[in-house]
């Protein structure tokens, strides 16, 4: 009798789950018709190894920052445990250094690169070499050049390639090197009513705008190897001289922090700069050139070559609208990562609904317990979310939701998606 009752309950639970999943799929169809946008969603039960929902799963969407999931997997698969921050060569009384694309140099008060260079008593030279790539990715919006989320890519990035202004008792400038490049005159200042800090398009001339006490604002600066030498010299308190890239000797590697710290920052906070620099480093590793396309080509041909629909993938961050991915391809990657990375470690790389990063204000779990672990992506008129969902019954689902070309606020999409995810949690 107990066995029969248990079987009946299991059958009922299975029916209820299928019913909810089927109803959700119908709602996706009707919601799209009502709003004239394009949306797709795929949900896969990793615990029971079966697909639960697939609507427009094979159609291409602009993925925005969910591209960073592919960037993460590529970097995780190729790069070592510790970040390569510098290459260096000892020549008599001189130290010759070369950038290695590390996005984290001079972002912390206790910086290993600064510590290493300060310990050298003699002359320091920076090799005049650059990435084999453009400073901006293909399809990036030209008028976002002054936005903190779009710093230039470079071989020797410092301070995240950002000027940061902090309003305290007085205006603090980081790095201090740029203080003389600030002006309170010209367009975009308090006189014109412009609030945001900004920079001239073609030179490092900055305008603070209106910064209230306690505020902090960042603006990308135009990079160059000479500027890198000057900024590094200021930070270590000694001159750094630029020299031609004509060294044939083997350089040694300066390894610093764990890559895990960069992966978490990239995925939880959606850091575009880290994503781009990691792909440059992967390109150097697999093709001996600091080029994002080299990393992408390698990933598509060797790491994710069995992806259901080959994506159009052009950058590491997802800033470009040229990127095109399908929900099925996103779920494919989520399944692949779940198979290869310990689950607690994997979920720890991602933002948690109602708790951290880009999901802190959304997708809150019942009783404060997070149930969504995911990467969001947003561009004007586009919102996407891909990741993992813990169900009420303890199962783990992989899902990808993509919504493109809608009018109105993304908050409406987030509310609808939250409703979908909560019902999936309850029913499975």
| Cβ–Cβ < 8 Å for 284, 251 | no
Q: For the residues 63-90, what does the mean pLDDT come to?
A: 97
- Distance, CA of 394 to CA of 132 (rounded, Å): 47
Angle at 14 between CA 9 and CA 19, to 5 degrees: 125
What's the pLDDT at 10? 43
Residue 420 in this model has a pLDDT that exceeds 60: yes
What's the pLDDT at 15? 47
Q: Which of 96-100, 159-163, 413-417 has the lowest mean pLDDT?
A: 413-417
Q: For the residues 226-230, what does the mean pLDDT come to?
A: 98
3-state secondary structure of 100: coil
What's the pLDDT at 13? 44
Percent of the chain with pLDDT over 70: 91
What DSSP assignment string belongs to 125-150?
EEEE---SS-SS-TT--GGGTTSTT-
- Distance, CA of 11 to CA of 417 (rounded, Å): 28
**In the chain, where the domains are located:** 16-77+269-427, 158-222
Residue 419 in this model has a pLDDT that exceeds 70: yes
| Separation of CA 360 from chain center | 16
| Cβ–Cβ < 8 Å for 94, 122 | yes
- Residue for token digits 């009707």? 30
- Distance, CA of 260 to CA of 58 (rounded, Å): 32
Would you place residue 352 in the very low, low, confident or very high pLDDT band (cuts 50, 70, 90)?
Answer: very high
CATH architecture observed for domain 16-77+269-427: 3-Layer(aba) Sandwich (3.40)
What's the pLDDT at 299? 98
CB crowding 189-211: b at 16 or more within 10 Å, else e: beeeeeeebbbbeeebebbbbeb
Would you call the peptide bond into 175 cis, given omega within 30 degrees of 0 as the criterion?
Answer: yes
Q: For the residues 249-261, what does the mean pLDDT come to?
A: 94
Would you place residue 348 in the very low, low, confident or very high pLDDT band (cuts 50, 70, 90)?
Answer: very high
Angle at 58 between CA 52 and CA 275, to 5 degrees: 95
| Cβ–Cβ < 8 Å for 67, 315 | yes
pLDDT in tens, 15-60: 445 566 777 777 776 666 666 789 999 999 999 999 999 999 999 9
What's the pLDDT at 169? 83
Tell me, what DSSP letter sits at residue 79? Answer: S
Percent of the chain with pLDDT over 90: 78
Q: Which of 8-22, 200-214, 307-321, 372-386 has the lowest mean pLDDT?
A: 8-22
Q: For the residues 321-326, what does the mean pLDDT come to?
A: 98
What's the pLDDT at 410? 85
Q: 95 has which bridge partners?
A: 90, 124
Q: For the residues 246-251, what does the mean pLDDT come to?
A: 87
Contacts 24+ apart (CB under 8 A), 209-214: 211/165, 211/167, 211/171, 212/167, 213/167, 213/168, 214/167, 214/168
- How many helices and strands, by DSSP H and E, does the chain display? 10, 16
Residue 217 in this model has a pLDDT that exceeds 90: yes
Per-range mean pLDDT, top range of 2-6, 185-189, 373-377: 373-377
Q: Which of 2-6, 99-103, 134-138 has the lowest mean pLDDT?
A: 2-6
- Distance, CA of 178 to CA of 1 (rounded, Å): 79
Instruction: Compute the radius of gyration of the chain from its Cα atoms.
Output: 24
Specify the higher pLDDT residue, 186 or 235: 235
What's the pLDDT at 185? 59
What's the pLDDT at 3? 57
What's the pLDDT at 368? 83
What DSSP assignment string belongs to 150-179?
-PPP-SS--GGGEEEEEESSSEEEESGGGG
φ/ψ of 333, rounded to 5, equals -65, -40
Name the average pLDDT for the chain.
91
Q: For the residues 248-275, what does the mean pLDDT come to?
A: 96
What's the pLDDT at 22? 77
| Cβ–Cβ < 8 Å for 354, 368 | yes
What's the pLDDT at 139? 97
What's the pLDDT at 228? 98
pLDDT in tens, 170-204: 889 999 999 999 987 554 444 345 578 889 999 99
3-state secondary structure of 382: strand
pLDDT in tens, 143-165: 999 999 999 999 999 999 999 99
Q: For the residues 80-106, what does the mean pLDDT come to?
A: 95
First to last CA, the chain: 25
| Cβ–Cβ < 8 Å for 285, 78 | yes
Q: For the residues 202-222, what does the mean pLDDT come to?
A: 91
Number of neighbouring beta carbons within 10 Å of residue 167: 16
H/E segment holding residue 83: strand 82-91
| Cβ–Cβ < 8 Å for 79, 282 | yes
Strand pairing category for 240-244 and 123-128: parallel
């Amino acid at each position: 009798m107990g066995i029969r009752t248990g079987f009946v309950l299991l059958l009922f639970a299975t029916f209820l789950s299928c019913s909810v999943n089927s109803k959700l799929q119908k709602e996706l169809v009707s919601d799209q018709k009502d709003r004239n946008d394009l949306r797709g969603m795929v949900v896969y039960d990793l615990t029971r190894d079966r697909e639960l929902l697939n609507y427009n799963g094979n159609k291409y969407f602009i993925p925005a920052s969910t591209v960073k999931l592919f960037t993460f997997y590529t970097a995780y698969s190729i790069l070592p445990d510790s970040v390569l921050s510098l290459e260096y060569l000892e020549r008599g009384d001189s130290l010759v250094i070369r950038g290695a694309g590390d996005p984290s140099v001079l972002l912390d008060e206790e910086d290993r690169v600064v510590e290493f260079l300060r310990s050298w008593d003699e002359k320091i030279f920076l090799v005049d070499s650059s990435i084999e790539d453009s400073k901006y990715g293909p399809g990036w919006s030209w008028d976002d050049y002054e936005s903190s989320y779009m710093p230039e890519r470079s071989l020797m990035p410092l301070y995240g390639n950002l000027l940061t202004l902090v309003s305290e008792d007085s205006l603090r400038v980081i790095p201090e090197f740029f203080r003389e490049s600030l002006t309170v005159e010209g367009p975009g200042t308090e006189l014109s009513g412009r609030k945001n800090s900004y920079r001239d398009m073609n030179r490092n001339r900055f305008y603070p705008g209106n910064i209230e006490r306690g505020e902090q604002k960042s603006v990308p600066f135009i990079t160059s190897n000479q500027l890198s030498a000057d900024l590094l010299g200021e930070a270590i308190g000694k001159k750094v001289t630029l020299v031609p890239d004509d060294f044939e000797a083997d350089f040694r590697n300066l390894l610093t922090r764990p890559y895990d710290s960069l992966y978490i920052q990239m995925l939880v906070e959606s850091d575009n700069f880290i994503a781009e620099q990691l792909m440059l480093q992967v390109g150097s590793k697999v093709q001996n050139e600091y080029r994002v396309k080299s990393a992408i080509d390698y990933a598509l041909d060797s790491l994710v070559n069995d992806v259901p629909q080959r994506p159009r993938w052009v950058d590491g961050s997802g800033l470009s609208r040229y990127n095109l991915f399908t929900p099925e391809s996103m779920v494919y990657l989520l399944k692949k990562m779940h198979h290869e990375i310990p689950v607690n470690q994997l979920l720890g790389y991602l933002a948690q609904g109602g708790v951290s990063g880009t999901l802190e204000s959304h997708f809150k779990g019942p009783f404060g317990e997070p149930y969504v672990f995911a990467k969001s992506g947003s561009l004007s008129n586009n919102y996407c979310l891909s990741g993992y969902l813990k169900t009420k019954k303890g199962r783990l689902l992989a899902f990808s939701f993509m919504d493109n070309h809608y009018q109105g606020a993304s908050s409406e999409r987030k509310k609808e998606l939250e409703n979908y995810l909560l019902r999936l949690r309850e029913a499975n």
